[in-house]
Amino acid sequence: MTSAVKTFLVATNRHPAVSDQAYNRYLRYPANRPLEGALAENAAWSREWFRSHGRPWCIAVRAEGVVRERAAAQLPGAADWAVIAASAGREPEAEAAARYAAGEPDLYFFLDSYASAVVDALLDEACAALGGGKRMSPGHRDWPIEDNLVLLDSIRAAVPLLGPLDILSSGMLVPKKSQLAVCAIGDRM
């Protein structure tokens, strides 16, 4: 492989498919139990609101340098690795906060949960599009969350971001419904 940075994937305003089972998991509801009544109405409202107003995005670049070393430590045995940034955007966070302030905590919770499911689906779709398998993010297992800065800096060095994404001193991302990950691509022979 060459040492040149390679952009694998760029997707803006990409609305991934979020299954009912995946959404239920973020709602902390049994995966195979259908939502009924007010729960179903809140879920439908969240999906429709996001479809109309959400601006999710995803970008993936080839892991290079120290990021490649850290990716190899977290996901050994791959032929290559991609660094992925995925975000539900600012819109759902702002709307969820407005719903909470308006005394509608259920709508806050449902939209917040749906935005989380969207980010997870974006990461899954990006890994699948790259022919990848496993993915890992800082903050999981023994990977320090502070490495979010390393991953974000590597993406920013390669390409412009497709939307707002910043990092707090704690390593948490803003907007909060965003995630950075590495994806293992191919097996070594």
Instruction: Report pLDDT digits (tens) over 22-65.
Output: 999 999 999 999 999 999 999 999 999 999 999 999 999 999 99
Q: What percent of the chain has pLDDT over 90?
A: 82
Each domain of the chain, given as residue ranges in start order, spans 7-187
Residue ranges of the alpha helices (H) in 55-90? 65-74
Asked if 102 contacts 41 with a C-beta cutoff of 8 angstroms, the reply is no
- Fold (topology level) of 7-187: NADH Oxidase (3.40.109)
pTM attached to this predicted model = 0.91
Asked if 174 contacts 168 with a C-beta cutoff of 8 angstroms, the reply is yes
Instruction: Report pLDDT digits (tens) over 121-131.
Output: 999 999 998 88
Contacts from 173-176 at CB under 8 Å and sequence distance 24+?
Answer: 173/87, 173/148, 175/87, 175/88, 175/89, 175/90, 175/93, 176/93
